[in-house]
Amino acid sequence: MTDKSGIQSLNIKEILRFQRNRYPVLLIDRILDIDPGKRAIARKCFTYNEWFMPGHFDDEPSVPGTVQIECLAQTLLMTFQCMEQYMGMKANAASYNNIKFRKKIEPGDVLLIEANLHSLKRGIAVGSSLGKVDGELACSADFVIVVPDILEQFKPKLL
């Protein structure tokens, strides 16, 4: 886990140090590569034993779209939450845009996610993520994420 910034890849214990999601909503399994402040590549291995799988649907299990989007968002979070000044801070979704689902994701599939941070200013992160299964595009989305503790510093103060 080292490069000049101190981070190259992260296992699940290390991911837990940087961001606040926990079971059952921490979805990414590993960060395979990271360039803090720029991009991250993550992996999510889906199994039938996931809490959402049996109910979606029992005759043809697949990963719900909301879970796919959350995997994309959590990977984008890691592009900046691995930086010391953002480590462990609460982050809220402000908007999800241009969401696309291209391929059904089933138990046994591995989602490889690439997230790119386009800008991070005053506690507002703008970026995009895409997920592939077996090299084929499965899902993608654009995000605006707010870090309330940072954003608060830039709000006008009442007299």
Give the pLDDT confidence of 12-68 residue by residue, as tens digits: 999 999 999 999 999 999 999 999 999 999 999 999 999 999 888 888 999 999 999
Higher-pLDDT residue of 111, 6: 111
Q: What is the CATH number of the domain that holds 115?
A: 3.10.129.10
Predicted local distance difference test score (pLDDT) of residue 1: 46
pTM of the model: 0.93
Judge contact between 33 and 43, C-beta under 8 A.
no
* 129 part of a folded domain: yes
* 56 part of a folded domain: yes
What are 100-142's pLDDT values in tens digits? 999 999 999 999 999 999 999 999 999 999 999 999 999 999 9
Judge contact between 103 and 133, C-beta under 8 A.
yes
The yes-or-no answer on residue 56 being catalytic is yes
The total number of structural domains in the chain stands at 1
Higher-pLDDT residue of 4, 93: 93
How many CB atoms sit inside 10 A of residue 122's CB? 11
* 6 part of a folded domain: no
- Active-site position among 38, 56, 103, 132: 56
